[in-house]
Amino acid sequence: METIKGAYTSAQIFTTNNKNTAIDQYALAQLLMICDQESSAGCRIRVMPDVHPGKVGTIGLTMTIGTRIIPNLIGIDIGCGMTLAQIKDKKLEFQKLDTVIRDCVPSGFHIRTKAHRMAYEFDFNMLKCAGHIRTDKAILSLGSLGGGNHFIELDKDEAGNLYLVIHSGSRHLGKEVTEYYLKEGQKHLKEKGLTVPYEITWLDGELMDDYLHDIQFVQQFASLNREIILSELVKGITVLYLLQTVSAYALWFSSHNPNAHFHHL
């Protein structure tokens, strides 16, 4: 285990002490930066062995939050996670699956041309920042994969069982929500006479509560997105029957818990 000590807290890294998997120096610098932030005072930070640099904070970071939060440590792809669905049959026509994915699931910057029937299950009015969101684009994004490291894959276990894995997040909605709160956070800090770099803008008080409220619903949006993708695959492959489905999120916390925490995996 390695410990990074900063001005306001420390971070414990669960490292393997293996030279071949040594922690990137930039990742260490980012962890020190987080520990040096006044907004991290009193927070407990634990870091996964596969930690690596992110845009502002590291990937593989887990920490409790107190009276302040930095949205960019959570990132813009709020609710990014995976949905795993076990397939009843142990054989599947790969070319058919590939065709259905390409025909039915927009990827990259592409979104649907028509809202999916399940998209209307999400109520954008639940968001405190709903008036600042492009809901017309967001509703068409439900059922799209996105880019980066997002994927759809077919896996097999030792018993020959097949599983569909869908890795995606909140699409452009997460970016819009994050950017709204960063801008509002900057206004709030300037009103207090504080100058804080945009990238490490922190929120507190009612603004923080609103942000925590909203990202819980954005997580639901991300989960619904994967459900819609899965439903399109099932519809496109008529012989595809699912036995069970499990989802995992990259972010969890409770805004009602003073020891709330988040994971950035």
Q: What is the pLDDT along the chain (265 residues), one digit of tens a residue?
A: 889 999 999 999 998 777 666 788 999 999 999 999 999 999 999 999 889 999 899 988 999 988 999 999 999 999 999 998 888 877 888 898 999 999 999 999 999 999 999 999 999 999 999 999 999 999 999 999 999 889 999 999 999 988 999 999 999 999 999 999 999 999 999 999 999 999 999 999 999 999 999 999 999 999 999 999 999 998 888 656 555 566 665 544 433 333 344 444 4
Return phi, psi of residue 166, to 5°. Answer: -120, 120
Q: What is the rounded distance in angstroms from the CA atom of residue 64 to the CA atom of residue 100?
A: 42
Whether 59 and 86 map to the same domain: the answer is: no
CB 6 within 8 A of CB 40: yes
Whether 58 and 85 map to the same domain: the answer is: no
| pLDDT the model gives residue 138 | 96
Whether 218 and 103 map to the same domain: the answer is: yes
- Please tell me the total count of domains within the chain: 2
Helix residue ranges, H only, the chain: 25-35, 71-74, 94-104, 135-141, 171-191, 205-236
Considering the domain boundaries, does residue 207 fall inside one?
yes
Q: What is the rounded distance in angstroms from the CA atom of residue 139 to the CA atom of residue 163?
A: 27
Whether 9 and 135 map to the same domain: the answer is: no
Whether pTM > 0.75 for this model: the answer is: yes
* Strand stretches in 16-102, DSSP E: 45-52, 59-64, 68-69, 81-87
Torsion of CA 211, 214, 216, 221, to 10 degrees: -140
Considering the domain boundaries, does residue 73 fall inside one?
no
Whether 60 and 166 map to the same domain: the answer is: no
Q: What is the rounded distance in angstroms from the CA atom of residue 63 to the CA atom of residue 144?
A: 30
Whether 220 and 92 map to the same domain: the answer is: yes
Q: How far is CA 188 from CA 181, 207, 263, in A?
A: 10, 9, 26
CB 208 within 8 A of CB 69: yes
CB 6 within 8 A of CB 32: yes
Whether 104 and 166 map to the same domain: the answer is: yes
| pLDDT the model gives residue 252 | 45
| pLDDT the model gives residue 82 | 92
CB 242 within 8 A of CB 88: yes
Q: Which of 154, 141, 149, 148 is nearest to 226 (CA)?
A: 141
Considering the domain boundaries, does residue 231 fall inside one?
yes
Point out the domain boundary residue: 15, 39, 64: 64
Whether 119 and 29 map to the same domain: the answer is: no
| pLDDT the model gives residue 24 | 87
| pLDDT the model gives residue 247 | 63
| pLDDT the model gives residue 202 | 96
The single-letter DSSP state of residue 127 is: S
Q: What is the rounded distance in angstroms from the CA atom of residue 187 to the CA atom of residue 173?
A: 22
Whether 46 and 149 map to the same domain: the answer is: no
| pLDDT the model gives residue 2 | 87
Q: Which structural domain range is residue 46 located in? A: 2-64
Q: How far is CA 160 from CA 96, 156, 163, 240, in A?
A: 19, 6, 10, 16
Whether 41 and 88 map to the same domain: the answer is: no
